[in-house]
A and B are shown apart, each in its own frame.
Chain A
């Protein structure tokens, strides 16, 4: 499988490629002053001015220019200008792409009208204010169906808020005083008063978006290092060309300055020089297209270096909830009895686990006749201290409860604390049924007798990595339900690809060791930490880092914040706490923890793309030398034509090399913006493959390209 995550190409991105605004932008960027930040391209433009001057007034450049070659100078200068323009075009395209992705994120917190509460002379007044005009500390009123204009803290009222746009979680979230509401979410019930916690320009997302939009985004350490190489190479080639110019005069080699400049520009690492900024920017854009915002480009690159990836079992590896898969009766009881008891006890249980019990019972046809008595049942809610839940039904009374109509509030009325009943001892009446289900050891405490094979059965289920749930009817153990963790689709392949790349996945789970082991081995993880508490993450991260490993992790809760802060790559869920989001260096707006793997792949892709284009650019020099040097000295030293192994035309060789040098830039723009494709293999495997494609290919391709351009030029009589 390819790890290439599906690329969400927005229609806006495609249209941007042709937009005149981008084209204009690319032309504006040709301003030499704005090119100063890109030394290679600045020099290319400088050489354009020199050759243009040669075309205008050749005698000024005697003896290295010739009036008879003015048309040639015009041609060379045009190609030089186009080379520089291709570079600014790449920049403009990458920036348009980044802005488009950013603004699609920004639409999440687009400008809305808010209801600002103004207190004048002890009288509260509502003023309609655009969200952008709000300031930190302002009070706002949030009524039903209002879009929350900006991040704020609830002061009064309790209401349900739909955060699905931001988090992808469809269940509305209850917000009470002290809770944070996120800008862009929608109030779906009740009325809240809240205090604005950030200025509009400082919201979390705004801050991150601005990072992408700003063309002055700080260079990452790796970009700085690559730029250093480029400046170094530029300096070396400058000396070479200046020395050649000097020799040309002193040794009477009759080399034309325009040819020297052509050689110079061809040797300069123009390809990587032109594409370096866009490669970095596009790398971050790709992350944004996946609804992940990164605090810096540096974090993305760091992700590529990940050695250890800490995965929470729940939410990352498994869908998050267990599902019932089997009813196992004990003693003389039947599967049907267990199924019906499970059905009854789960009727009021709205958790996915409870729903899966009902679904399984229903599919097996275990619908109990006591169903219509549920309306007047007593519900024992799950409590962490007893680790059981259940129901008590008075038989034959009440009415059939239509299945669709069971809102939480109605059921709540009947609820009572379960613990009270346990203490009360035997209060089960003749016509009453009490069903309690729960963790086997907890059930053992309340059951009247334990069947002989109960322990063996429980152990067997546990050892298979599943969770046993014991069921009692009137304090008699009637059976065990097998609950199974459900793996996320495709997670095994993802983990395999991570392992293949030499990254060690570590699974964290609160489960007991046997369950943890079973899940881990099912998805192919060798290392797991069972019975882990969120605080353990910090220990694991620091321990791995002490052994010099680069650690990536995800987190959402406040407990995760310290670990997120120290982890090299910390991906917080947008649904998580503010503390976690602030500690992390990336936030997933869709709150999908499995995306941590994509982040790592994107980081690798970014580094690989940069390395590949750099290598390609430098390797290209071989062919360019062989194209230009033989004809450069052709007037005085025709013997060197023997080096013209491509058989290029004397008048066209230089132009061909120069055209190839320019044309390769737009040809590689898609590669720079999409990143190179790769299959997850070992680090060495990736290296060998890319070295062959971009290193060896970088030597061969220009030979072919230059020859083809030369043939074309000769055929049009150039």
Chain B
């Protein structure tokens, strides 16, 4: 397939899958496996959620388990939407698998464009099926069993109402959690079974499951960096990708761990400050978006670090897409600074021309547009105040974070179920969709134009050198983080300085 055909195949398959999931969400009340009797999702919420899962974002404007009216006894579950077992297993999990597979496929297709003598970008359907049957399903099967062993529930037996030792009545919110957690972490999806995500004890019962989930999140994005070198047949070329990604990751960590004080309310005491912070950095660096602690309780610098992860998107980034972004950063860095070596810039022996630069620049443009326009609109239309978000630094951080998370297909957020308003549902849905498919299309087009390009065997600028990696990291920080500096200054940076004065 050429890049157009490959991209359109991926897009159509995804849209078809979204339609299926949409029907399940909307009609879950009349479909089987709904022991809790959850109503069907509103159209705008269902629209937003299918896009959210299909774009690997997993931004959730609902609580999967429903909302307890009078905890710990939950029945009757409130009218706030929850998801039936069928929805969790078929709509959510299904899309979590397919979106991860799509990301992997397009990344591999992009790399094929850079491989010399490749004739086309492969067949999407073949890639798609193989990545599911040979990679994700076996991995998740094993991971799910391990989670069950660690104490994560896996049942479709309905919520259990039990009498506790003290004699009180308590509803135990169980379901097919382990299978969902395995794919949500392996597939860098991040959408939890529960509203509180991995901060909820059943989704993440103990430090062992916590560490295991962190490892699963990092597994495939990291492996893909090596796959890149393997596919190219030049393993050394994977060096700037992997070292660059992990240098940025290290910077994120450094920033997050600068504050040794000030972990506020909402921090999950079971894991403590270190694991909560570490998780937050990882989940944004690989754009998974699962959380094991409430973001509102984090130090603003941890939030700033989370922003960095989401804005860069390749430290090491989400499944497949992180690698694509990194290759894009390499191309633009080679172009801008490579000229200084006195040769027309080349990557992997291919001259970078105006057309390539155009694709990269438009990809760069996508993020500011889809983050900043809705952020301003949220305030201008009063949608922000409707969900009781202030115009101060804390409030701005929340809105800015919402759209950054949506654009980066991360999925962690401050709003949660509070974001279930038509404005936020529709705006984030559009942002997620564009944020996912526009860069994929553009970068596939970039790779498509690389196919059969004349390749020089002479080595000009060594892109596999440490020097280049340092320059690459510098230019990523310069081009990406600086772009958003004024907004970060109004959000987490301002919040940090304010809290330093007023106390955390």
Residues in A lying within 8 Å of B, measured CB to CB: 221-222, 224-229, 231-233, 235-236, 239-240, 243-244, 246-247, 249-253, 263, 301-302, 304-305, 307, 501-502, 547-550, 603-605, 607-608, 610-612, 614-615, 618-619, 621-622, 625, 629, 632-633, 637, 639-640, 642-643, 678, 683-684, 686-688, 690-691, 694-695
B339 touching A247 by the CB < 8 A rule? no
Known: A250-B391, A608-B339, A639-B498. A229 touches B361 (CB 8 A): yes
Out of A247, A621, A632, name the residue touching B376 (CB < 8 Å). Answer: A247
* A612 to B338 alpha-carbon distance, docked (Å): 9
In the complex, the answer to whether A231 meets B361 with C-beta atoms within 8 Å is yes
**Contact between chains at B478 and A225 (CB < 8 Å):** no
B84-125 vs A: 1/0 string, CB under 8 Å? Answer: 000000000000000000000000000000000000000000
A229 touches B340 (CB 8 A): no
| A-B residue pairs in contact (CB < 8 Å), sample of 14 | A224-B354, A239-B373, A243-B375, A247-B396, A251-B379, A251-B396, A302-B344, A304-B344, A607-B342, A625-B486, A629-B489, A633-B494, A684-B461, A686-B341
Please give 14 more A-B residue pairs, beta carbons under 8 A apart, in addition to A233-B361, A548-B458, A604-B343: A239-B368, A251-B396, A304-B343, A550-B456, A607-B343, A608-B340, A608-B341, A618-B336, A622-B482, A625-B486, A640-B493, A642-B497, A684-B467, A687-B461
Please tell me if the beta carbons of A611 and B336 are within 8 angstroms of each other in the complex: yes
Q: Which 6 pairs from chain A and chain B are nearest by CB?
A: A611-B339, A232-B361, A604-B342, A243-B372, A690-B340, A246-B376
Q: How far is the CB of A374 from chain B (nearest CB, A)?
A: 58
Given contacts A608-B341, A687-B340, contact A225 B335 (CB under 8 A): yes
Interface SS of A by simple majority: helix
Q: Taking the complex as formed, is B132 at the interface, i.e. its CB lies under 8 A from any CB of chain A? A: no
Tell me the bound Cα distance from A625 to B368 in angstroms.
Answer: 17
Across the interface, do B482 and A625 meet the contact criterion of CB distance under 8 Å? yes
CA distance A253 to B486 in the complex (A): 12
Q: Is B265 an interface residue (CB 8 A)?
A: no
**Contact A225:B396 (CB < 8 A) given known A550-B456, A611-B336, A687-B338:** no
When A683-B342, A686-B340 are in contact, do A229 and B357 touch as well, CB less than 8 Å?
yes
Which among A615, A622, A684 is the interface contact of B337 at CB below 8 angstroms?
A: A615
Residue of A nearest to B400 (CB): A247
Q: Taking A225-B352, A640-B489, A691-B471 as contacts, is the C-beta distance between A607 and B482 under 8 angstroms?
A: no
Contact indicator A688/B342 (Cβ below 8 Å): no
Q: Are A232 and B365 closer than 8 Å at their CB atoms?
A: yes
Q: Is the Cβ of A695 less than 8 Å from the Cβ of B376?
A: no
Chain B proximity of A157: nearest CB distance (Å): 50
The residue of chain A having its C-beta at the shortest distance from the C-beta of B501 within the complex is A639
Is B226's beta carbon under 8 Å from chain A? no
Query: Contact check: which of A307, A501, A619, A643 meets B493 at CB < 8 Å?
Result: A643
Residues of A close to B396: CB separation below 8 A: 247, 251
The residue of chain B having its C-beta at the shortest distance from the C-beta of A251 within the complex is B391
Q: Given the complex, which residues of B lie within 8 Å of A637, measured CB to CB? A: 393, 490, 494
Min CB–CB distance A487 → chain B (angstroms): 27
Q: Using CB atoms, name the residue of chain A closest to B380.
A: A250
B365 touches A235 (CB 8 A): yes
Determine how close the nearest CB of chain B comes to the CB of A686; give it in whole angstroms: 5
User: Are A247 and B340 within 8 A (Cβ)?
Assistant: no
- In the assembled complex, the CB of B362 is this many whole angstroms from the nearest CB of chain A, namely 7
A614 cross-chain contacts in B, Cβ below 8 A: 336, 339
Verify A608–B342 contact, CB threshold 8 A. Answer: yes
A701 CB → nearest B CB, Å? 15
Across-interface contacts of B455 in A (CB, < 8 A): 548
Nearest residue (CB) in A for B497 is A639
Contact of A684 among B344, B375, B465, B489 (CB under 8 A): B465
**For residue B489, which residues in chain A have a CB less than 8 angstroms away from its CB?**
629, 633, 640, 643
Contact A307 B497 (CB under 8 A): no
Do A684 and B341 form a contact, CB below 8 Å, given A239-B365, A246-B380?
yes
Which residue of B is nearest A233, CB measured? B361
Is the CB–CB distance between B474 and A695 below 8 Å?
yes
CA–CA, A1 to B350, complex, Å? Answer: 32
Say yes or no: A243 contacts B343, CB within 8 Å: no
- Main SS class of interface, B: helix
Provide the residues of chain B in CB contact with A221, threshold 8 Å: 353-354
Closest to B467 in A: A688
Complex contact B344–A301 (CB within 8 A): yes
Residues of A contacting B368 in the complex (Cβ-Cβ under 8 angstroms) = 236, 239-240, 243
Contacts of A683 in B (CB 8 A): 341-343, 459-461
Interface residue ranges of B343-396 to A (CB < 8 Å): 343-344, 349, 352-354, 356-358, 360-362, 364-365, 368-369, 372-373, 375-376, 379-380, 391, 393, 396
Contact between A691 and B340, CB atoms less than 8 A apart: yes
In the complex, the answer to whether A611 meets B340 with C-beta atoms within 8 Å is yes
Q: Does B457 reach chain A (CB closer than 8 Å)?
A: yes
Nearest B residue to A504 by beta-carbon distance?
Answer: B458
Residues in B neighbouring A236, C-beta threshold 8 A = 364-365, 368, 483
- Smallest CB separation, B99 vs chain A (Å): 27
* Cβ distance A266 to chain B, nearest Cβ, rounded Å: 12
Within the complex, what minimum Cβ distance (angstroms) separates B475 from chain A? 8
Residue of B nearest to A680 (CB): B342
Least Cβ distance of A609 to chain B in Å?
9
The residue on B at minimum CB distance from A688 is B467
A425 and B456 alpha carbons, distance in the complex (Å): 62
- Which chain B residue has the least Cβ–Cβ distance from A689? B340
The residues of A that contact B354 with a CB separation of less than 8 Å are 221, 224-225, 227-228
Interface residues of B in 451-490 (CB under 8 A from A): 454-462, 465, 467, 471, 474, 478-479, 482-487, 489-490
> What residues of chain A lie closer than 8 Å to B462, measured between beta carbons?
684
Residues of B within 8 A of A263 (CB): 486
Q: Is the pair A694, B362 in contact by a Cβ cutoff of 8 Å?
A: no
Q: In the assembled complex, how far is the CB of residue A256 from the closest CB belonging to chain B, in whole angstroms?
A: 14
Query: Which residues of B are found within 8 Å of A691, using beta-carbon distances?
Result: 337, 340, 467, 471
Give the CA-CA distance A251 to B494 in the complex, in Å: 14
Q: Tell me the complex Cα distance, A683–B335, Å.
A: 15
Q: Which residues of B contact A621 (CB under 8 A)?
A: 478, 482
Would B342 and A622 count as touching, CB distance under 8 A? no
Q: A225-B353, A687-B467 are in contact. Are A232 and B482 (CB under 8 A)?
A: no
Contacts of A622 in B (CB 8 A): 478, 482
B344 touches A607 (CB 8 A): yes
Query: Is A612's CB under 8 angstroms from B340's CB?
Result: yes
Q: Which residue of B lies closest to A301 (CB)?
A: B344
Q: Is the CB of A307 within 8 A of B456?
A: yes
Residues A632 and B486 in contact, CB atoms below 8 Å apart:
yes
Interchain nearest-CB distance for B495 vs A (Å)? 9
Report whether A250 and B376 are in contact in the complex, using a CB–CB cutoff of 8 Å. yes
Q: How far is the CB of B381 from chain A (nearest CB, A)?
A: 9
A639: chain B residues within 8 A (beta carbon): 494, 497-498, 500-501
Q: Is the CB of A695 within 8 A of B379?
A: no
B336 surroundings in chain A (CB, below 8 A): 229, 611, 614-615, 618
Q: Which of B339, B353, B461 has the most CB of A within 10 A?
A: B339
B342 to chain A, nearest CB (A): 3
Are B344 and A222 within 8 A (Cβ)?
yes
Q: How far is the CA of A240 from the CA of B365 in the complex (A)?
A: 10
- A153 CB to closest chain B CB (Å) equals 40
Q: List the B side residues contacting A222 at CB < 8 Å.
A: 339, 344
Interchain CB contact under 8 A, B344 and A548: no
- For residue B339, which residues in chain A have a CB less than 8 angstroms away from its CB? 222, 226, 607-608, 610-612, 614
- Are A250 and B379 touching (Cβ within 8 A)? yes
Chain B min CB distance to A640 (Å): 6
Question: Are A687 and B337 within 8 A (Cβ)?
Answer: yes
Q: A629, B486: Cβ atoms under 8 Å?
A: yes
Tell me, rounded to whole Å, the shortest Cβ–Cβ distance linking B75 to chain A: 43
A227–B478 Cα distance when bound, in Å, is 19
CB distance from A227 to the nearest CB of B (A): 8
Q: How far is the CB of A137 from chain B (nearest CB, A)?
A: 42
Distance (whole angstroms) from the CB of A548 to the closest CB of chain B: 5
Interchain CB contact under 8 A, B454 and A548: yes
Residues from chain A with Cβ under 8 Å of B376 in the complex: 243, 246-247, 250
Q: In the complex, what's the smallest C-beta–C-beta distance from A646 to chain B, in angstroms?
A: 15
